[in-house]
Amino acid sequence: MKICAVFCVFVALALGSPVPPNTQQCECSAAARSLLSSLSHIMQKEGKMEHRDLFAGFNCTDLEAQMIPHTLTASVCQPSGSAHNASCSSHRRSSFSETECLRNIRADLSYYDVMLSSYRPSETDLSPVKTATKGLMNCLNENCEAADGEFPQWRVWSGLSFDDRLSLCKTLKGFHIRAITVNRALGYIGSGEHRK
């Protein structure tokens, strides 16, 4: 596969053509799918995990998803040529920026990594999501453009079991939604469409 990619680059350079997009992509789609799968598993089981019921005492499906207000992933990762650019959720008029999209994805993952790592009552049940989150973060760091900057740390948990489980439910629902966005964004970046 790598020999083919190198050959394509040489042929493209010799013919004066642009380098095929699939030879210069950020390929973390498998890691993003793994994260989405882990989150979907928890949400489908409604928190009923091997060691405990994460959402005992309330119906998690009735609660609103809690999104992170400090990132713009949904808008900056929207394809520039998409028909969705005219939607209410997107007020930006500039073209797609892979660097800005990846920076926001990293900020999201950093937030959720801190949040999940600081949740103590059920570390074992959350370990697949924590592992998948770290896996995607590592993949982005190894295979994609670096994002400069410090990502802030947040305190999420109150120390009260019920309130923390309620917050965990809302936050995991938000993370699940964001993981869908991340999967779509990384698929778009991986396709190379934005480089054409």
pLDDT digits (tens, 9 = 90+) for 8-36: 333 333 333 333 333 345 689 899 999 99
- The residue-averaged pLDDT of 57-67 equals 88
User: Which of 164, 138, 175 lies closest to 39, judged by CA?
Assistant: 175
Task: Say how far apart CA 161 and CA 140 lie, in whole Å.
Answer: 34
35-61 as b/e: b if 16+ CB within 10 A: bbebbeebbeeebebeeeebbeeeebe
The residues, any chain, with a CB within 8 Å of residue 127's CB and separated by 6 or more, are: none
pLDDT value, residue 132: 95
Burial of 163-187, coded b for 16+ CB within 10 Å and e otherwise, reads: ebbbbbbbbbbbbbebbebbbebbe
The confidence score (pLDDT) of residue 57 equals: 81
**CA dist., res. 84 & res. 86, Å (int):** 5
Q: Is the pLDDT of residue 50 over 80?
A: no
Flag whether pLDDT at 134 surpasses 90.
Answer: yes
